[in-house]
Amino acid sequence: MLRKNANFKPKARRASANRTSTNNSKPKKSRKDYHDEEYNRLLQSKRWRLLRKQVLEENKCLCRRCMEQGRVSLATTIHHITPVQWGVSLREKERLAFDRNNLMPLCDECHKEVHRTMGKQTLKANQAKLKAYLDDFRERFLE
């Protein structure tokens, strides 16, 4: 039978100058690092949580992109087709965030792929899309 030594204390590990970290990767960025405060506030609101739930339920929690490709996948994310960050003012960001026509239910895999594709686009292409979007908006609502 083993006896417990009441005086036993484990040795504290000392940091060694020779020891190198095995994790040399950069720390993972949080959502706050990618988006501005207004965007974060909008997506933490009760209004957004309710709208997100409604859009998922209306689409039977199915990924729209997978359905277009003949697959069936569970949608876990609501994607903004036109990024909320493209809004210049808080009012524009709110309109983009809460416009049902700007929302698309996606599975995690499709959502990542959409953002990889968006990230590959050049700034000029994004600016051209934004200009076309704003021109369309002006034509539909302001003229």
Helices (H), 23-120: 31-34, 37-43, 46-58, 64-68, 90-98, 108-120
**SS3 state of residue 42:** helix
pLDDT band at 120 (very low <50, low <70, confident <90, very high): low
More confident residue, 11 or 131: 131
Asked if 95 and 87 touch (Cβ cutoff 8 Å), the reply is: yes
| Residues 46-103: tens digit of each pLDDT | 999 999 999 999 999 999 999 999 999 999 999 999 888 888 889 999 999 999 999 9
Mean pLDDT in residue range 118-137: 74
CA angle 142, 82, 131 (to 5 degrees): 50
Q: What is the dihedral of CA 132, 136, 142, 143, to 10 degrees?
A: 110
pTM value > 0.75: no
